[in-house]
Chains A and B, each alone.
Chain A
Amino acid sequence: MKKTPFLEVDRVTKRFGGLLANDRIDFTVEEGEIVSIIGPNGAGKSTLFNCVTGFYRPNSGKISFMGQEMTHYRADQICKMGVARTFQIVQIISDMIALDNVVTGALLRFNKIRPAVEKAEEVLRFTGLIEKKGLLPTELTIADKKRLEVSMALATQPRLLMLDESMAGLTRVELREMIDLIKKIREIGITLVVVEHVMEAVMEISDRVIVLNSGKKIMEGTPQQVVVNREVIQAYLGEKYHVVSP
């Protein structure tokens, strides 16, 4: 019996006027995996994210989560179903302290404030931000802001977490912390789909890698397979890998 895939992206196409940003993108994600999506700038990775999470409407194709089709669902409905995400440019509430930001996320599953606050503190302990719970976002470093955004997403108690370039702009130490956090998240049973440019991280965390270029999926495989694939290398030709300098 064929097991229902956890996340199924079935020939999703998204057009902006004349530009074909996603061209029949097709892949599945199994529960418990960490899948990375890589590709040069403009390949359509963020567009794909937006289609899956309800921020864009695909022109055609199907998206299903845990067997339920959610192609044209609103973004907030998709979040309720258990798919959470972060953004390339960190989206947090700037005039609330860190704790309150996470409480807002936790409130998805509670109607009263107190249990939401308890949940939020639990999440902040998990992500290592509990000491900074009373700070405003302006007082946080970029790495902390990213962790806050992840905390907010975790507070909605997702089954699937989609991270959009969570490693961008981090120092070597911060990178290590983020990688460790991602592994911790997998350990508590959350499936991850990650868009990344930092190849070191991709190699370390991914079970599978999907490569996009110019709107199409050009390859899918283990990190080792992807890294030696000729088409993939050509797609990146002229683009430096992100090497984190010591």
Chain B
Amino acid sequence: MQNLSFKQISSGIIVLILLILFPFAFPKPFPQHVMILVFMFGMTGVAWNIMGGYAGMFSFGQVAFFGIGAYTSSFLLITYHINPWLGLVVGGLIAALVGAAIGYPCSNLRGHYFAIASIAFGEIVRTHFNNWKLIGAAEGMTLPMLSESFKNFMFHSSKLPYYYIILAFLILSLGVCHFVATSKMGYYFRAIKESHDVAKVLGIHVVAYRLIAIMISAFLTAMAGTFYAQYVLYLDPESVLILPISVQIVLIAMLGGASSVMGPVIGAAILMPVSEITRVLLGHKGTGVDMMIYGALITLISVYQPKGVWGLFSNIGKRAK
């Protein structure tokens, strides 16, 4: 784990410039929408990676954090007219606390057991939100149409501001992930991922570090949730809290390469356009063909390239100079 090389920084800057210019090269809403999804899901993938790829807690329940973020900021906005940026922070904190509360009793769970617990967690949250009148239950919540402004975190005439905001969020997440990966925390997470015994014998407080990983992951995922709410302006449990979204998040991280900082972004960059395009071309008739392709894709990737795209180039970082 080293600091970024000159080559990495310069290629990063080039990519960033390209992404900044992208909406001008492609001024139509659809490509911008696809890229917004790429950034948003990329962000959730990066967040997943912190607890999954690095710390070994494979969560299939990230939607719970996504939903908590989205619903918290939206509820505060609708009911108490609290600014969504503030709501974003509150949503993140609540998600982190809930994550820690659930994570603590699950501290000894690993692998498949943890995965199922995370599914159970996600499903409990979904069921609860589906029946919770305060936040609209199954009917969901509609966000009020406020005047367009950065302060209101709402834009109507163009997708551009959303594009740049979520890109900034993504860069923030990547920064957090990079910091985690190259710090003491990163080493400790990877030790925990290998085995709790190895971690303990090196003096690592396993429970505490697991909770930290969960809380960081939850906060970032909730941020993405708030963004989603402000972008789509409508929330209901069936769109925001369902298991397939959690699976998609895992898939993005896996496809790009779990346990690499940029992996999930690559995964999102591949998966989101593919799934959007197949949905538009094949999905609207409700035949299920688009999802069959998606399912087949997941299966093939798991079998033939489980280390993801990054895994193709992965042997770079392993050897010391």
A, B co-complexed: yes
| Complex Cα–Cα for A144 and B93 (A) | 46
Asked if A87 is at the interface (CB within 8 A of a chain B CB), the reply is yes
Among A104, A107, A116, A134, the one with the most B-chain Cβ atoms within 10 Å of its Cβ is: A104
- Report if A104-B187 is in contact (Cβ < 8 Å); known contacts: A75-B200, A94-B194, A113-B1: yes
Asked if B286 is at the interface (CB within 8 A of a chain A CB), the reply is no
Interface of chain B residues 40 through 72 with chain A (CB within 8 A):
none
Which B residues touch A54, using CB under 8 A?
200
Of A95-103, A187-195, A207-215, the one contacting chain B is A95-103
* B298-321 near A? 1/0 per residue, CB < 8 Å: 000000000000000000001111
- Report if A53-B201 is in contact (Cβ < 8 Å); known contacts: A134-B319, A134-B320: yes
- Report if A107-B318 is in contact (Cβ < 8 Å); known contacts: A74-B200, A80-B203, A84-B201: no
- The answer to whether B200 and A107 touch across the interface, beta carbons within 8 angstroms, is no
Closest B-chain residue to A85, C-beta based?
A: B201
Which A residues touch B182, using CB under 8 A?
113
- The answer to whether A93 and B203 touch across the interface, beta carbons within 8 angstroms, is no
Which A residues touch B1, using CB under 8 A?
100, 113
Among A55, A87, A105, the one with the most B-chain Cβ atoms within 10 Å of its Cβ is: A105
Asked if A136 is at the interface (CB within 8 A of a chain B CB), the reply is yes
| Complex Cα–Cα for A133 and B187 (A) | 16
- The answer to whether B184 and A105 touch across the interface, beta carbons within 8 angstroms, is no
Which A residues touch B206, using CB under 8 A?
76
- The answer to whether A79 and B201 touch across the interface, beta carbons within 8 angstroms, is yes
Which B residues touch A93, using CB under 8 A?
190-191, 194, 198
- The answer to whether A76 and B205 touch across the interface, beta carbons within 8 angstroms, is yes
CB distance from A209 to the nearest CB of B (A): 25
* B184-206 near A? 1/0 per residue, CB < 8 Å: 10011011001101111111111
Asked if A91 is at the interface (CB within 8 A of a chain B CB), the reply is yes
Among A55, A74, A84, A113, the one with the most B-chain Cβ atoms within 10 Å of its Cβ is: A113
CB distance from B313 to the nearest CB of A (A): 16
Tell me the interface secondary structure of chain A in the complex: loop
| Complex Cα–Cα for A99 and B1 (A) | 11
Asked if A142 is at the interface (CB within 8 A of a chain B CB), the reply is no
- Report if A156-B203 is in contact (Cβ < 8 Å); known contacts: A97-B320, A113-B182, A113-B183: yes
Which B residues touch A224, using CB under 8 A?
none
- The answer to whether A104 and B191 touch across the interface, beta carbons within 8 angstroms, is yes
One of A91, A95, A112, A134 near B201 (C-beta < 8 A) = A91
Asked if A123 is at the interface (CB within 8 A of a chain B CB), the reply is no
| Complex Cα–Cα for A96 and B193 (A) | 11
- The answer to whether A108 and B203 touch across the interface, beta carbons within 8 angstroms, is yes
Which B residues touch A133, using CB under 8 A?
320
- The answer to whether A153 and B201 touch across the interface, beta carbons within 8 angstroms, is yes
Closest B-chain residue to A79, C-beta based?
A: B203
Asked if A170 is at the interface (CB within 8 A of a chain B CB), the reply is no
| Complex Cα–Cα for A86 and B197 (A) | 10
| Complex Cα–Cα for A133 and B321 (A) | 10
| Complex Cα–Cα for A12 and B195 (A) | 27
| Complex Cα–Cα for A113 and B181 (A) | 11
Asked if A152 is at the interface (CB within 8 A of a chain B CB), the reply is yes
CB distance from B282 to the nearest CB of A (A): 39
- The answer to whether B184 and A156 touch across the interface, beta carbons within 8 angstroms, is no
- Report if A104-B188 is in contact (Cβ < 8 Å); known contacts: A94-B194, A97-B318, A134-B320: yes
- Report if A74-B191 is in contact (Cβ < 8 Å); known contacts: A54-B200, A113-B182, A134-B319: no
CB distance from B319 to the nearest CB of A (A): 5
Which A residues touch B188, using CB under 8 A?
104, 107
Closest B-chain residue to A96, C-beta based?
A: B190
CB distance from B5 to the nearest CB of A (A): 16
- The answer to whether B194 and A95 touch across the interface, beta carbons within 8 angstroms, is yes
| Complex Cα–Cα for A174 and B321 (A) | 28
* B157-175 near A? 1/0 per residue, CB < 8 Å: 0000000000000000000
- The answer to whether B319 and A107 touch across the interface, beta carbons within 8 angstroms, is no
CB distance from A121 to the nearest CB of B (A): 10
| Complex Cα–Cα for A112 and B206 (A) | 19
Closest A-chain residue to B199, C-beta based?
A: A76
| Complex Cα–Cα for A53 and B206 (A) | 15
| Complex Cα–Cα for A53 and B319 (A) | 33
- The answer to whether B203 and A76 touch across the interface, beta carbons within 8 angstroms, is yes
CB distance from B53 to the nearest CB of A (A): 11
Sort A-B residue pairs by CB-CB distance and give the 3 closest, nearest first.
A134-B320, A79-B203, A75-B200
Given contacts A105-B203, A107-B188, A110-B184, 13 further A-B contacts (CB under 8 A): A55-B197, A74-B205, A75-B201, A76-B205, A79-B202, A86-B201, A87-B197, A87-B201, A92-B198, A95-B259, A96-B187, A99-B320, A100-B1
Question: Which A residues lie at the B interface, using CB under 8 A?
Answer: 53-55, 74-76, 79-80, 84-87, 91-97, 99-100, 103-105, 107-108, 110-113, 116, 133-134, 136, 152-153, 156
What are 12 sample pairs from A and B whose C-beta atoms fall under 8 A apart?
A54-B200, A55-B200, A74-B205, A79-B201, A87-B201, A91-B197, A92-B194, A93-B198, A95-B194, A108-B204, A136-B318, A156-B203
